[in-house]
Amino acid sequence: MSTSVQIAINLLTTVDLNSIDNGRVFVDLITSEFPLLCPDKFGNGEPLKTRYSSSDKEAILEAWQFRAFHWKRARPFVEGGVTFADGPHRQHSWLHITLGSTVDISEVVRFVQTASTAFSADFATIHMMGSEEVDEILGDLKYGSKDPKLFFNNPRNGLHLNVVTSHDIR
């Protein structure tokens, strides 16, 4: 495999991201200030079928009101999602974004700072994964050589934050 460097963003917040008002803040944030994060497609689960149109931001807000929201963009490569805090012991909503290496890291930092402020983040990270790290993760998952649960809980593998749920944070 010859995978480029990827950047992973993770943000945890106790703010109710499931609300339409916070959905609107997020949509405004990516469409006005960080258009490189705008989706080609979005939805609540795979396969993502709804095409994004800058003239119809309300369509995102209609999809926003479920347990999770996901989006993808081909160029530059962006995959993201919001998992909303849910259940009787809900604590954190989780915003996670993976970007290709063609983005300006200073814009990524500015986005994380802005989103962290807008949503009163408890925790946020930017993780730059080298091509060897990405190849190892993708190869191990593709060929089933590791149990994904054990694999993702190993901090050495970079994507360990992707298993954080509101039940894991106390």
Res. 140: pLDDT tops 70 = no
Res. 154: pLDDT tops 50 = no
Res. 117: pLDDT tops 80 = yes
Percentage of residues of the chain with pLDDT beyond 90 = 34
> Stretch 100-117: mean pLDDT, rounded?
87
| Burial track 19-43 (b if 16+ CB lie within 10 A, e otherwise) | eeebbeebbebbbeebebbbbeebb
- 29 DSSP assignment: I
Q: What is the pLDDT of residues 16-63, one digit of tens each?
A: 888 889 999 999 999 888 998 999 999 998 899 899 998 888 888 888
Collapsed DSSP state (helix, strand, coil) of residue 21: helix
Q: In the chain, what are the domain boundaries?
A: 7-130
- From edge to edge, which strands make up the β-sheet containing 50-51? 50-51, 41-43, 68-73, 78-83, 93-100, 6-13, 121-129
- 48 DSSP assignment: P
Query: In angstroms, rounded to a whole number, what is the distance separating the alpha carbons of residues 34 and 56?
Result: 17
Residue 147 phi, psi (nearest 5): -70, 120
Query: In angstroms, rounded to a whole number, what is the distance separating the alpha carbons of residues 83 and 133?
Result: 25
The confidence score (pLDDT) of residue 101 equals: 73
Which tokens go with 1?
A: 């495999």
Query: In angstroms, rounded to a whole number, what is the distance separating the alpha carbons of residues 122 and 99?
Result: 22
- 100 DSSP assignment: E
